[in-house]
Structure 1
Amino acid sequence: MIKISAHTMATPEETLPEAIDLFAELGFDGVELICADDYPCGIGTDVQAGELRTVRRAIEDHGLEVPNLVPYVREINVIDAQVRRRCIDDLLRCIDFAVALGAASVRIWAGTDPEPGHEDEQYALLIDSLQQLAPVAGAAGVVLSVENHMGSHAITGAITAGIVTDVGSAHVGVLYDPANLLVLGDSDYRAALEVQLPHITHVHFKDVDVLGDNRHMPRIVGEGEVPWAEILPALSAAGYDRFVTTEYEKRWHPDELPPSREGLAHELAAARRMLDLTGGRDE
């Protein structure tokens, strides 16, 4: 059965303990954690073992899980070998953090926009980096989930599936984000879902209106252009049984979205209805 988690992106005005309390109170099944030094509602990149134990205990005490850890490491495809090595090392630490937190997945940003004329070279470097990371992740019991994302190689469903295929490891999958794909112009959700479906290891749930030029306006689910009422049942029918995370973009769009509690409650209820998880109760 699909479980539903909330992303700490949704709670920029809360501390992490406050966010965990809120997610549990609203009825989510998990907490997707940001790993970055510039955002307090998450963990830092130099987090210590004792702090990780405290965070994990707080999450588990609320009956929640950590489905995915979200670092912002990007330059795993750059030509500068020292920079790329540093980024690989950063992701190796994130794998360690995921193990300490009991997280099943680490989000992977599929490199930066390649430099003109170096697309093939930088794609090869991306694949090489992931091939270095994959066996470490596998030994740790963690999957690396390559997200459909602007500003990376993974800008269509077919390309993202191709990245995973070229890496050739069961420990590298797809973080399926149909809203990002729509913004990027990959508008045939059925084709994008079909080509990625064998590889999907995590899902981000949000709605948007597309503004063009890789820009969007966030909307609460049901008021934007993403056909979630078709996508979520299709995922469930295909046997997907991992987490779907409500990626409520309050961090990036504080003035365009309703307050965190209100928005998250709406997104959770919408996901439950679409997945028929309400048990017949009126939400």
Structure 2
Amino acid sequence: MKFSVFTASTPDWSPTEAAQTLAEQGWDGIEWRVVDDRPADGAEVPAGRSFWTGNRSTWQFTGIQDQVGEIARITDAAGLEYSGVGGYQPVSDLDGVDTMLRVTAELGARQVRVTMPHYRQERERTGATYPQLFDRTRADLEWAAGRAAELGVKALVELHHMTITPSASAALRLVDGLDPEHVGVIHDLGNLVIEGQEDHLAAFELLGPYLAHAHVKNARWVDTGDTRADGSAIWQNEWAPLRDGQASVSDYLDALRQHGYDGWVTIEDFSTDLPLAERTADNLAYLRSLVPVAA
């Protein structure tokens, strides 16, 4: 396995700082976040949302075609590989997806995430039922798969809570029958703590050739102390350090090995218990202790 970091989780660093620091720490690769993320003029970045707002390691989607050379220069200078590209373009935005696929091909990054619809938001916005949203998304993904094939890259569907693909079973329904050379699934350990949990080995076997990538973070559920009108407790999820969440990273990597997976494992740690540089260094040390370099 090879280890990389998704720069959504490195908000304090510029792209150059992110690449250089991760390379010095011994990471194999980097997964760049690409999305329009600029605070309004004069607005302060809320500390609790710095991963998602004003993240300095983000490449802006607008004008991204003009940044390909700079992305390549920074990545190559650090000696890092691309584990993929962390795109945010909705699968329904065909022009946006086409842009991300082309940028991925130009970088030689091989694969890029396209985002799946958020079920509740889309139902409230359009009135579409899950089957209607699923069918529409399948048609869009078929288009993306064809375009990815033309460009020699792969479009990735992430297992993500609140979307129409929170589990391996749901994702397989969506991608089944498409060419796994050009459409794949990102299995995400931390997201599954929130929604979509299935036995990991069973999920890997179910996905088969569609298992294209693995994201690792951790999460936990905590009692808020509040109750609903009926008296039942209200719980909420929060991100946690790799060792401290409800999921076992060790068991997860073991299941990947049992399945024969030897691809990228990308860390996106959104906990804040440790300062960023300590957090990334500690995460790599932890991963290496579970998967020695010689393995």
Name the counterpart of 2:61.
Answer: 45
1:63-212 equivalence runs, <5 A: 63-74=79-90, 76=91, 84=92, 87-113=93-119, 114-115=122-123, 118-167=129-178, 169-211=180-222
Amino acid aligned to 1:220: P
Shift in Å, 1:19: 0.6
Name the counterpart of 2:247.
Answer: 226
Contact 1:8–1:32, Cα closer than 8 Å, also in 2: yes
Contact 2:101–2:153, Cα closer than 8 Å, also in 1: yes
- Closer, same or farther: CA 166–216 of 1 in aligned 2, 3 Å: farther
Q: How much identity, in percent, do the aligned residues show?
A: 25
2:166 alignment partner, SS class? coil
Amino acid aligned to 1:62: A
The 2-side partners of 1:61 and 1:153 are apart by 39
The 1-side partners of 2:18 and 2:86 are apart by 16
Contact 2:105–2:153, Cα closer than 8 Å, also in 1: yes
Shift in Å, 1:154: 0.5
TM-superposition CA deviations, 1:72-121 (whole Å, max 9, x none):
223x4xxxxxxx4xx11101100111122221211122222152662111
Deviating beyond 6 angstroms after TM superposition, the runs of 4 or more aligned structure 1 residues are none
The 1-side partners of 2:131 and 2:264 are apart by 33
Name the counterpart of 1:242.
Answer: 263
Structure 2 alignment gaps of length 5 or more: 38-54, 224-233
The answer on 1:271 being equivalent to 2:287 is yes
1:19 alignment partner, SS class? helix
Per mean C-alpha deviation after superposition, the further-off stretch among 186-195 and 229-238 is: 186-195
> What is the root-mean-square deviation of aligned Cα atoms in Å?
2.2
Amino acid aligned to 2:111: S
Q: TM-score, normalised by structure 1?
A: 0.85
Contact 1:35–1:71, Cα closer than 8 Å, also in 2: yes
Per mean C-alpha deviation after superposition, the further-off stretch among 26-35 and 65-74 is: 65-74
The 2-side partners of 1:237 and 1:23 are apart by 28
Structure 1 alignment gaps of length 5 or more: 77-83
Amino acid aligned to 1:245: T
The 2-side partners of 1:48 and 1:172 are apart by 22
Name the counterpart of 1:80.
Answer: none
Amino acid aligned to 2:214: V
Shift in Å, 1:240: 1.5
